[in-house]
A and B are shown apart, each in its own frame.
Chain A
Amino acid sequence: MIHQKHIVETSALIVALILVMLPILGFESWAVLTLAGLSMAMMIFIMASGMTLVFGLMDVLNFGHGAFIAVGAYAAASMVTLVGGYPIGTVLAILTVVGCALAALVAGGIGGSLFERLLVRPTYGNHMRQILITTGGLIIVEQVLIVFFSPREIVLLRPEELQGSLLIGNIALEKYRLLMVAIGLLVFSGLILLFNRTKLGLLIRAAVENRKMVEALGYPVRGLFIGVFITGSSLAGVGGALWALQQELFTVTIGSEAMLLIFIVVVTGGLGSVSGCFFSALLTALVANYVTFLYPPLSAFALIGMMAAVLLWRPQGLIPVANR
């Protein structure tokens, strides 16, 4: 399993896709769509990275992952309501957004620990029960959110400074999307650094490959599982908040709506591979944006087709992890 080769090939594929689209779309549309695709990719990556890592490490497929996304979105909205709106000034505005993201992170983390304790832990090893119980968990969380908030849509406006676009020539690049790309790259770099430069990251990578051996080296893997699960749910919460700010309008189903894309991204990228998740998020979001613009009725099947094509080329995903 040669890592470098996979990364190079996948990056080449994505760059090729972007370049190919340029003549097809014309410069203005291309710029807008590509940015839209990139920012969407970042948000999906943040939401999905937790899920793929949890699966790779714990062999747990959490069909209720969307619950953390929803919880994050609602936490962010509550934060803004609590603070009473956005303060004026770019720095303060960004700080508020950061505050929302933190609220979402904490909410996601709390949700994750509850979910793990009550629903995931009792079903370790039994995939069927896991799928059933986590699906049930998602439904319950959504309904509880409705009880505590409202069945209606929630409006979550971005601060003024993050509305609107930057004009470069006659291309309008949405400010928020640019920020999303920056944040996404930051999160990805952070995760890569964690995995490759810290001992904790080492431990996680090893445990993804061979759980039993890690235990035989003297590490209690149980605590690691819980930690990773909570990290994953926190990230999902943050992703949900960012996604909600992007849409500025959302309901409790914001989580389940994202689940389809997350599934596709996680499977295409290689279950358990965070870098795979990053690249497949890029591929998926770009394909989704391009196709929806060019030929809307094809969009749903285009993604499935993409997933099938990738799996035929690389059955283990874009950037596979080593086998157990």
Chain B
Amino acid sequence: MLNRLLSYDLPRSRLLAVLLAIIFVCLILTPFIFTGTKSLSIAAKICIFVVLVASYDLLLGYAGIISFAHAMFFGIGAYSVAIALERFGTGFTQLFLGMGSGLVIALLFAALIGFLSLRLRTIFFAMITFAVSNAVSVTVIQSYKLTGGEDGLSYNIPQIFKSSYRFLEEPVFGVAITGKLLLYYVVFVCSLVMFLLLLRIANSPFGSVLRALRENEFRTMAIGYAPVLYRTLASCAAASMAAGAGMLSAVWLRYTGLETTMSVDIAIDILLIVVIGGMGSIYGAVLGTVLVIVAQGYLREILIAIGEFFGGWWMTGLFNPDRWLLWLGLLFVLCVYFFPQGIVGWLRKIEADRLIRQQAQS
């Protein structure tokens, strides 16, 4: 049963399986295990980002497309919901309207970009996605009336999702059963579903064709698969998931702005996480996201302590918690150099070696 759920794409590494299981359990039980609102925010962010990064893995790791526009789709989803809720009221109708339109817009852009990807080489395509997402960001800033410009949009969400809405009078296991809790589980479940869907797509015949196209386009074309079609479909699938993640983010945060959605920073984060976690594995998104977000959230104190231990202005500078991007960048470059398959690949390799040794002994 578990096999089918995971689309027969098992972790293939005991350590990886254990880590994934721990993460899963922690996420499901976050409200009950960890206290404070911070941990809940981080857990929700992890869920949302896992989908965002995993959908990017479909593009980068499977289809071999380098796109700098993925954060743009995240933003499209988020802003569609945000604008709907901000302008038209906070009911579920508006919410679903926003979601629907966000999906349509994302698909349109995705189809366009997917279509361009055949006519252009990798390099051109990457540059064009960079240019287009830049242009969209600038347009968002300029369309102050609609999008709140640089300030972003703050809005209300349906009453049932708010922390003031109590389902039960008494707390359960010490946790108040509020709308916020419900929202968290909605985010979790939606993210889980999208993640499993991505696993399914990646491991379907469609996914195999994507990989074949990436490895040897000419030969795959010769067998009869049209690159344009497959890449466009992949682009649309990835974009709609990213938009979906954006919609979740918009509802969860009750705020949508450039820094939380379309910024270059987010685009870079996605790229770094997917490579460090492990391209072409989908699971890499989980490990990478958890590693990076938890590090960002919890390692501040440790970093400051290390910096002060060494002393000297440049050491404290290096270990300044705001410089996590430096370490992330270094880790990223090391991964491209030595571990193209990321952490997941490394774990799987260890496991495979272990099995080989075992077989050799017996």
Determine if A313 is an interface residue (Cβ-Cβ < 8 Å): no
A144 to B329, CA, bound (A): 11
The reply to whether A260 and B326 contact each other, CB–CB distance below 8 Å, is: no
Q: Indicate which residue in A143, A263, A299, A301 contacts B326 across the interface (CB closer than 8 Å).
A: A143
A315 to B124, CA, bound (A): 12
Determine if A36 is an interface residue (Cβ-Cβ < 8 Å): no
Scoring B135, B264, B318 by chain A CB atoms within 10 A of each residue's CB, the highest score goes to B135
Tell me how many residues of A have a C-beta within 8 Å of chain B.
35
Q: Indicate which residue in B134, B329, B336 contacts A260 across the interface (CB closer than 8 Å).
A: B134
A136 / chain B contacts, CB cutoff of 8 Å: 272, 329, 332-333, 336
Q: Specify the chain A residue showing the minimal Cβ separation from B214.
A: A128
Q: Which of B17-25, B91-99, B125-133, B155-163 contacts A (4 or more CB under 8 A)?
A: B125-133
Chain A contacts to B: CB under 8 angstroms: 61, 63, 119, 122, 127-129, 131-133, 135-137, 139-140, 143-144, 146-148, 151, 256, 259-260, 263-264, 267, 296-297, 299-301, 303-304, 307
A267 to B64, CA, bound (A): 22
Determine if B275 is an interface residue (Cβ-Cβ < 8 Å): yes
The 8 A CB mask of B112-143 against A (1 = contact, 0 = none) is 00000000011110110011101110110011
A40 to B13, CA, bound (A): 55
Distance from A113 Cβ to chain B, minimum over Cβ atoms (Å): 17
A263 and B127 in contact, given A136-B333, A140-B329 (Cβ under 8 angstroms): yes
A-B contact count (CB 8 A): 89
Q: Specify the chain A residue showing the minimal Cβ separation from B326.
A: A143
Distance from A103 Cβ to chain B, minimum over Cβ atoms (Å): 21
A140 / chain B contacts, CB cutoff of 8 Å: 326, 329-330, 333
Distance from A128 Cβ to chain B, minimum over Cβ atoms (Å): 6
The reply to whether B318 and A300 contact each other, CB–CB distance below 8 Å, is: no
A128 and B314 in contact, given A136-B336, A296-B142 (Cβ under 8 angstroms): no
A304 / chain B contacts, CB cutoff of 8 Å: 131-132, 135
The reply to whether A131 and B135 contact each other, CB–CB distance below 8 Å, is: no
Q: Give B66-114 interface residues, CB cut-off 8 Å to A.
A: 66
The reply to whether B333 and A131 contact each other, CB–CB distance below 8 Å, is: no
Determine if B322 is an interface residue (Cβ-Cβ < 8 Å): yes
Tell me how many residues of B have a C-beta within 8 Å of chain A.
39
Determine if B40 is an interface residue (Cβ-Cβ < 8 Å): no
Q: Give B261-281 interface residues, CB cut-off 8 Å to A.
A: 264, 268, 271-272, 275
B139 / chain A contacts, CB cutoff of 8 Å: 297, 300-301
Determine if B182 is an interface residue (Cβ-Cβ < 8 Å): no
Residues of A contacting B: mostly: helix
A131 and B320 in contact, given A148-B314, A299-B138, A300-B134 (Cβ under 8 angstroms): no
- Name 5 A/B residue pairs within 8 A (Cβ), A-sorted: A122-B337, A133-B336, A146-B323, A260-B130, A304-B131
A131 to B323, CA, bound (A): 23
Distance from A86 Cβ to chain B, minimum over Cβ atoms (Å): 28
Determine if B317 is an interface residue (Cβ-Cβ < 8 Å): yes
The reply to whether B336 and A132 contact each other, CB–CB distance below 8 Å, is: yes
Determine if B212 is an interface residue (Cβ-Cβ < 8 Å): no
Q: Indicate which residue in B142, B264, B271 contacts A132 across the interface (CB closer than 8 Å).
A: B271
In the A-B complex, the 8 residue pairs with the smallest Cβ-Cβ separation, listed nearest first, are: A143-B326, A300-B135, A139-B329, A147-B317, A300-B138, A136-B333, A140-B329, A297-B142
B190 / chain A contacts, CB cutoff of 8 Å: none
Distance from A310 Cβ to chain B, minimum over Cβ atoms (Å): 13
Q: Specify the chain B residue showing the minimal Cβ separation from A129.
A: B336
A140 to B132, CA, bound (A): 24
A299 to B131, CA, bound (A): 12
The reply to whether A147 and B320 contact each other, CB–CB distance below 8 Å, is: yes
Scoring B124, B142, B323, B326 by chain A CB atoms within 10 A of each residue's CB, the highest score goes to B326
A119 to B332, CA, bound (A): 12
The reply to whether B333 and A127 contact each other, CB–CB distance below 8 Å, is: no
A264 to B320, CA, bound (A): 35
B143 / chain A contacts, CB cutoff of 8 Å: 297
Distance from B277 Cβ to chain A, minimum over Cβ atoms (Å): 14
Determine if B6 is an interface residue (Cβ-Cβ < 8 Å): no
Determine if B186 is an interface residue (Cβ-Cβ < 8 Å): no
The 8 A CB mask of B46-81 against A (1 = contact, 0 = none) is 000000000000000000101000000000000000
